[in-house]
């Protein structure tokens, strides 16, 4: 039996609370009766909608995630959100190190490492995003970039906490964002491309942290996964789910991905 985790990152796409609540309500309604114990699903709305969405999905099988957080509990940090605020809204997960945070807002591995440590301290499950740009891929730097991001972002994490972390491999060149890819064509990774990198990530985790950790850390693929390609990607042994962008913004588009995971997880 395989375990999958499917996440919906709404980014800054749904800006009105009422709309976010409506989408979340519909997703929860559509999946609540079909989810199995080996498939978990979370959504990450904008901060302004977190509490309201958390209230309407409370008691359902749909989980809540933050899109980011600061590594301090509280203080004079204008524009940041505290891990305690995420917990108060009902979050169980937090996305950290997303390529948009790294590439647009300049977050470094060491900065992300502090966030991962704080999330674990607070009992939040970090979804650590890693991935290379089109230029890095063309220059043959994919494995070097990924290894550096993993080693630095997970530096000094206690062994017993590592199983709470989810890795999300999101090739930057596959993300439909003109600010990330102003001069390159957006291409979803082929199953062969995705498999090659996920196998590399799995081996890296095993070599660095040992079998007990490396074989059991869940690795998501994040890069324009949708209904038309999800089964081919999820069928790969070292892919344990997806971090979904645009296709998570409606139950109609999100549910087929979840159904594919349920089918493959039986």
Kindly report the pTM of this predicted structure: 0.95
Residue 107 has what pLDDT? 97
Q: What is the pLDDT of residues 185-225, one digit of tens each?
A: 777 788 899 999 999 999 999 999 999 999 999 999 998 89
Q: Which sign does the torsion angle of CA 87, 44, 230, 206 carry? A: negative
3-state secondary structure of 140: coil
Q: In this structure, what are the phi and psi dihedrals at residue 30, rounded to the nearest 5 degrees?
A: -75, -30
Between CA 250 and CA 257, with CA 252 as vertex, the angle to 5 degrees is 95
pLDDT at 224: 83
Structure tokens at 170: 């999101």
Instruction: Spell out the SS3 assignment of 147-187.
Output: HHHHHHHCCCCCHHHHHHCEEEECCHHHCCCCCCCCCCCCC
7-54: pLDDT as tens digits: 999 999 999 999 999 999 999 999 999 999 999 999 999 999 999 999
Is the predicted pLDDT of residue 130 greater than 80, yes or no? yes
Query: Over pLDDT 90: what percentage of the chain?
Result: 87
134: pLDDT strictly greater than 90: no
- φ, ψ (nearest 5 deg) of residue 7: -120, 145
Indicate if the pLDDT at residue 174 is higher than 90: no
Residue where the block lists tokens 């042994």? 237
pLDDT at 185: 72
| CA dihedral for 6, 12, 17, 22, sign (positive or negative) | negative
Q: State the pLDDT confidence band at 242, using cuts at 50, 70 and 90.
A: very high
Structure confidence at residue 45 (pLDDT): 98
Q: Could you list the active site residues?
A: 98, 170
Tell me if 202 sits within 8 A of 252, measured CB to CB: no
Whose CA is closest to 218, among 193, 195, 248, 241?
241
Sign of CA dihedral 258, 30, 17, 126: negative
């Amino acid at each position: 039996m395989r375990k999958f985790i499917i996440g919906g990152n709404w980014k800054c796409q749904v800006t009105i609370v009422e709309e976010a609540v409506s989408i979340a309500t519909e997703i929860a309604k559509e999946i609540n009766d079909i989810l199995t114990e080996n498939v978990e699903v979370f959504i990450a709305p904008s901060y302004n909608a977190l509490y309201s969405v958390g209230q309407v999905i409370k008691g359902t099988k749909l989980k809540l995630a933050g899109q980011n957080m600061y590594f301090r509990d509280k203080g004079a940090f204008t524009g940041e959100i505290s891990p305690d605020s995420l917990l108060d809204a009902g979050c169980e997960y937090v996305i950290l190190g997303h390529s948009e945070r790294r590439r647009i807002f300049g977050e470094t591995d060491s900065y992300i490492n502090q966030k991962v440590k704080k999330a674990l301290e607070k009992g939040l499950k970090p979804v650590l995003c890693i991935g290379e740009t089109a230029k890095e891929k063309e220059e043959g730097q994919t494995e070097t970039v990924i290894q550096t991001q993993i080693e630095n972002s997970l530096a000094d994490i206690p062994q017993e906490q590592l199983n709470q972390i989810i890795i999300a491999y999101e090739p930057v060149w596959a993300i439909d964002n003109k600010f990330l890819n102003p001069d390159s064509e957006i291409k979803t990774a082929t199953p062969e491309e995705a498999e090659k990198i996920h196998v590399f990530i799995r081996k890296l985790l095993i070599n660095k942290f040992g079998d007990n950790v490396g074989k059991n850390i869940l690795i998501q693929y994040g890069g324009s996964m949708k209904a038309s390609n999800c089964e081919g990607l999820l069928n790969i042994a070292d892919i344990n789910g997806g971090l979904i962008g645009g296709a998570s913004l409606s139950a109609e588009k999100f549910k087929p991905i979840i159904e594919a995971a349920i089918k493959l997880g039986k």
